[in-house]
Amino acid sequence: MNGNIEVTYKVVNQNDLNLTITLQELLKNDKIIKAIKSEFAKGYRNIELKTDSELSDKFRLETTKEHHSFTVQKDDFADIMSLAEEDATSKKLLKKECLVELVDIKTLD
């Protein structure tokens, strides 16, 4: 096969934060409710926070990571993961308890 592939990856650690919170879980937290009341209902008493229906919106809390890229031949597609690990090692990004996670794979002309 002719052509190249651009591979984008990030280095993740086992201690990185990766948490999904629903809006419903967030609104069950007393500290969040107090903050909303103090910001939007200051001076009012006997206030309840109510929602119309089941809330399905989700929030993600995760550690921000820098994305790294490299280019390989299309023939090397089967070895992309090991090549990403080699690239991270050559850039001295991999440390103990670190892993490479592929973010994007693009075909270049």
Dump pLDDT digits (tens) for 20-50: 988 888 888 999 989 998 999 988 888 888 7
**Is pLDDT above 80 for 90?**
yes
State whether 76 and 103 are in the same domain.
yes
State whether 10 and 22 are in the same domain.
no
State whether 48 and 73 are in the same domain.
no
Nearest to 20 by CA among 64, 61, 51, 54: 61
State whether 70 and 96 are in the same domain.
yes
Question: Has this prediction a pTM greater than 0.75?
Answer: no
State whether 11 and 26 are in the same domain.
no
| Domain count across the chain | 2
Q: What is the mean pLDDT of residues 51-71?
A: 84
Q: Percentage of the chain surpassing pLDDT 90?
A: 51
The span from the CA of 64 to the CA of 13, in Å, is 11
Domain of 48 in residue numbering reads as 18-62
State whether 72 and 93 are in the same domain.
yes
Per DSSP, the three-state class of 13 is: strand
State whether 24 and 53 are in the same domain.
yes
Q: What is the mean pLDDT of residues 47-62?
A: 78
State whether 2 and 23 are in the same domain.
no
The span from the CA of 94 to the CA of 11, in Å, is 7
**Is pLDDT above 80 for 1?**
no
How many Å separate Cα 5 from the centre of its chain? 23
State whether 41 and 75 are in the same domain.
no
pLDDT value at residue 55: 65
